[in-house]
Amino acid sequence: MSDHIQIERLGAVQVIRMNRPEKKNALTRAMYAAMSKAIVEGDADPEIRAHVFFGVPGAFSSGNDLQDFMAFATSGDPVSEVIEFLIVLANARKPLLAGVDGLAIGVGTTLNFHCDLTFATPQSFFKTPFVDLGLVPEAGSSLLGPAQMGHQRAFAFLAMGDGLNAVEAREAGLVYKLVETEELEATVLKVAAEIAAKPPQAMQIARDLLRMPREPVVERINLEARHFAERLQSEEARNALMAFLTRKKG
């Protein structure tokens, strides 16, 4: 279990908190593995009826840890923990909620395509700079994004890399409600508890009916992952990643 993922059970609600503030919650392989384990175990526990994702103040997640990416780009070892987490996320059997404050970059954004309800603070900002890094969309976002946003908005967001502020994210259907910072966690936990109190079998059936079938989502995750792995090995992506890391150090 990663020290940067904190798991807490509040009644029938499981809270999964990304807690790496010094790196703006950039996700490492160990963090992905810990979150996968939490979702699988929570789904298997009849006492748990909803999962909630939180970050830290100012950073839900800044995306994948780029040092992990650079290690893959030079070694070719597959980032299996990432793919496992995305598939676990797509296959989650119980409602998923998120409370976003501040940065939601890359997977910090695409995770929310799988959430049934996302609440965000007014200062939240969503961005997917995949193509700018020589990469491609992930987490099934190339399928879920157009379905939720429409093609043109999804293209601007996922291919062009145009960011969305909190209001734009709500208008695009990525966010359910905007909540003031000091009210975010209490609001999300209240709604999660309300969901958890409803008849669980009826809730699961209703959720399954409302969501896109899992099979095409998992298939798209795997297709994106193959392209992502190939791109990470490309000269174009390596140059883009190195340029990005150089700018960050500068």
Q: What is the mean pLDDT of each run of 10 residues along the chain (250 residues)?
A: 89 98 95 97 98 98 83 64 96 98 97 98 97 94 97 98 98 98 98 98 97 96 93 87 73
Q: What pLDDT score does 243 carry?
A: 84
Sign of CA dihedral 191, 166, 90, 9: negative
Distances (CA, A) of 147 to 136, 153, 157, 214: 18, 10, 13, 14
At residue 63, the 3 state secondary structure works out as: coil
Q: How far apart are CA 16 and CA 39, in angstroms?
A: 9
Q: Are 129 and 108 in contact (CB under 8 A)?
A: no
Class of domain 5-181: alpha beta
pTM: 0.93
Q: What pLDDT score does 149 carry?
A: 96
Helix, strand counts (H, E) of the chain: 11, 10
Nearest residue to 165 (alpha-carbon basis) of 200, 205, 132, 124: 124
Specify burial of residue 157 (Cβ count, 10 A radius: 0-12, 13-18, 19+): buried
Q: Which helix (H) or strand (E) holds 127?
A: strand 125-127
Nearest residue to 242 (alpha-carbon basis) of 38, 36, 70, 65: 70
Task: Give the number of other CB atoms < 10 A from CB of residue 129.
Answer: 16
Q: What pLDDT score does 241 carry?
A: 80
Q: What pLDDT score does 204 carry?
A: 96
Q: How far apart are CA 101 and CA 58, in angstroms?
A: 5
Q: How far apart are CA 159 and CA 142, in angstroms?
A: 9
Q: Are 245 and 66 in contact (CB under 8 A)?
A: yes
Nearest residue to 224 (alpha-carbon basis) of 126, 144, 167, 117: 144
Q: What pLDDT score does 237 carry?
A: 85
Q: What pLDDT score does 73 carry?
A: 61
Q: What pLDDT score does 250 carry?
A: 57
Q: What pLDDT score does 79 carry?
A: 67
120 beta partners = 100, 178
Sequence spans of domains, the chain: 5-181
